[in-house]
Amino acid sequence: MPAQAATYSAGLDFQAQDQSMWQQGGAGIIDYTKFIGPQWNASQTVGGITHLATPEVTLVPEICGWGICTPAVTIPAVNVGDFGAQINGSTSGAIGFDVDFHANTGAVDVAYPGTANFAYPDPDQLIPGAGTLAIQTAFGAGAGTSLSTEFPYASLDLDFVFDVHANGGLKVCVFSCLSQSFPGINVDKEFNLVDIDTNTVGIDFTVLDVVHMQAQLPDSDMNALDTTLNGAGNLVAVGRDDADPLFDIDVDLDLIATTLLGLPALTQEFSFAGASAGFTLLDVLIGAEVRLVQTFTFDPSLMVKLDASDGQSVTGAVGDSLLFNTFMGGDTLVTPTFFLQNNFTNLTQLVITPTFDLEALKAHLKLDLPGIANDLGVDDIDFGFGPLFSCHIPGNCSNGFAFNVNVFNDSWQIPFAPVVGDAFIVRVPEPTTLLLFGFGFALLGASALRRRRQDQA
């Protein structure tokens, strides 16, 4: 039954899943799992075993007369034995490639639950067909409001499978049975050929011992724990992979200088007879760390369309006052349809942080002593010295600085299915009822006037 009170509430739960983080529409998602190669499971039995037995034979039946019975004369049943031969075998297995491929172009999930509340005048405050009828609306976001993302990735796992099983046997029966099993096969092996995951595979290379570079695709997935509802009622999520930078580049300045000047390297390492030692007079590196940071903002605006059974329809934002021409007398059914307008923004940036590392005068020595010395309680020698001076930016010398480069910045609407709420009734007094009320008030007024005049007389 529709609500007949002057207030109305509707629980709403807007959900959007697997939406693209780069454009309007669904994300590209591939989940492919397949075995390529023959698979079998078969069994067969050839031949048969027959059991022979002679039945019980009655030679002279039991004879009874004049109260006296002679016993029957019989030949008892005899189990002769089993006769025949039987071969059985079974085999199962799979030989081929097991493919497991998954990819995602970047997905976004949004949950936006809450409660819409309406308030409208009581019947005694309305005049049929006269003036306007205002429906006050409000919305409160509920628990479970969240925005989560999955950063683009791809993974491929390719395995070679050799899984073969076979067994069989022979059974021969002459009076009694003799069984013999054949040598069986029971092999279950799996060899990994390819295992690639873009979230874990990195690149590490050095150019002429001078430039060292590391690269790693970020894994900056965000979930509800990373999401905040800001003062404007917007969902904001920030993703940053602090484990590994997108790029980490270091250039060895002291090695460049000594190479150009024809001097020996300022860092040396030595190994001899189980001992190792090294020293660094000066080590200077400059470079940069490049990290990928994504900021997602979901700015929702809940709208409602109110369709009245008298043909009127009003659309507006939940939170505003929606106006109808006052309905004629009686009950008018109002059906709300909620839809979530929104503005979703993806700001993807490269955060570039210049780095500087300087260390002066350090050394180390390691000596592995023979086992007999360890047995006598003498430990191996392993100690280091320095650096006497170090400077790292960002670090002990300065916090450094960083600058941002926008690589993607765009906005669009995430589509949500509209929600049709339960209808509610707005009741307006009938015109005849108002006439009766008016006539009654007129009689009361005339009676009061007559009494006042009598009092004055």
Place of tokens 């003498």: 378
**Average pLDDT, integer, range 91-97:** 93
In our burial notation (b when 16+ CB lie closer than 10 A, e otherwise), range 392-423 reads ebeeeeeeeeeeeeeeeeeebebebeebebeb
**Does some domain include residue 37?**
no
**Does some domain include residue 52?**
no
Residue 430's pLDDT band, with cuts at 50, 70 and 90, is confident
In our burial notation (b when 16+ CB lie closer than 10 A, e otherwise), range 141-180 reads beeebbbbbbbbbbbbbbbebeebebbbeebbbeeeeeee
Place of tokens 């191996």: 380
pLDDT tens readout for residues 191-213: 998 888 887 777 787 887 888 88
* Contacts for 371 with CB less than 8 Å, ≥ 6 apart: none
Are residues 384 and 313 in contact, defined by beta-carbon separation less than 8 angstroms? no
**Does some domain include residue 129?**
yes
Percent of the chain residues topping a pLDDT of 70: 87
Predicted local distance difference test score (pLDDT) of residue 435: 47
**Average pLDDT, integer, range 384-409:** 89
Predicted local distance difference test score (pLDDT) of residue 378: 63
**Does some domain include residue 191?**
no
Please state, in angstroms and rounded to a whole number, the distance separating the CA atoms of residues 457 and 451: 10
Distance, C-alpha 321 to centroid of its chain: 39
Question: Nearest CA to 161 among 32, 31, 38?
Answer: 38
**Does some domain include residue 187?**
no
Can you list the alpha helix ranges (DSSP code H) found in 262-394?
371-375
Higher pLDDT, 444 or 317: 317
What values do phi and psi take at 90, rounded to 5? -145, 150
Is the pLDDT reported for residue 79 higher than 60? Answer: yes
**Does some domain include residue 347?**
yes
Predicted local distance difference test score (pLDDT) of residue 35: 93
Q: How many domains does the chain have?
A: 1
Residue 182's pLDDT band, with cuts at 50, 70 and 90, is confident
pLDDT tens readout for residues 269-282: 888 777 888 888 99
**Average pLDDT, integer, range 10-25:** 92
Longest dimension (CA), the chain: 146
Distances in Å between the alpha carbon of 340 and those of 26, 358, 376? 17, 55, 79
Q: Which range marks the domain in which residue 295 is found?
A: 7-28+105-152+198-456
pLDDT tens readout for residues 221-248: 665 444 555 555 567 777 766 667 888 8
Predicted local distance difference test score (pLDDT) of residue 97: 93
Predicted local distance difference test score (pLDDT) of residue 445: 53
pLDDT tens readout for residues 117-142: 999 888 877 777 778 888 999 988 87
Is the pLDDT reported for residue 436 higher than 50? Answer: no
Is the pLDDT reported for residue 414 higher than 90? Answer: yes
Is the pLDDT reported for residue 5 higher than 60? Answer: no
**Average pLDDT, integer, range 14-27:** 93
Predicted local distance difference test score (pLDDT) of residue 229: 57
How does the average pLDDT of the chain come out, rounded? Answer: 83
**Does some domain include residue 373?**
yes
Question: Nearest CA to 121 among 280, 332, 367?
Answer: 332
Residue 42's pLDDT band, with cuts at 50, 70 and 90, is very high
Is the pLDDT reported for residue 434 higher than 90? Answer: no
**Does some domain include residue 377?**
yes
Predicted local distance difference test score (pLDDT) of residue 439: 46
Residue 175's pLDDT band, with cuts at 50, 70 and 90, is confident
Are residues 407 and 2 in contact, defined by beta-carbon separation less than 8 angstroms? no
For 191, the token pair is: 């060899």
Question: Nearest CA to 95 among 32, 165, 168, 43?
Answer: 165
pLDDT tens readout for residues 443-456: 555 555 566 655 65
